[in-house]
Homo-oligomer: A and B are copies of this chain.
């Protein structure tokens, strides 16, 4: 069960990876093999981290791809849970 509002994975990426290394967004994008606009979108919370992007991050920053995708999942789930009560779903039991 998720207990607190998870941050944008992009926010974590910026604060824990990009800024500590002192590299520019432009150079990081080059290293990741993606466009600057795509990285910028992630860093500013406009785009999520796709499975492929998680693998790219794991290579570039020597981390685990799982941790990146899990962060994204938890963020997405937090958003989805906000509308739990609006879903027309009934409990299912044996026929």
Contacts and interface: CB of A to CB of B under 8 A. Distances in A.
Interface string A80-95: 1101100111111111
Number of identical monomers bound together in the oligomeric complex: 2
Contact of A52 (B22, B55, B69, B80): B80
A89 B59 contact: yes
B28 A88 contact: no
Interface residues of A, number: 47
B95 A21 contact: yes
Interface in A44-92: 50-52, 54-56, 59-62, 64-66, 69-70, 72-74, 76-77, 79-81, 83-84, 87-92
Nearest to A24: B95
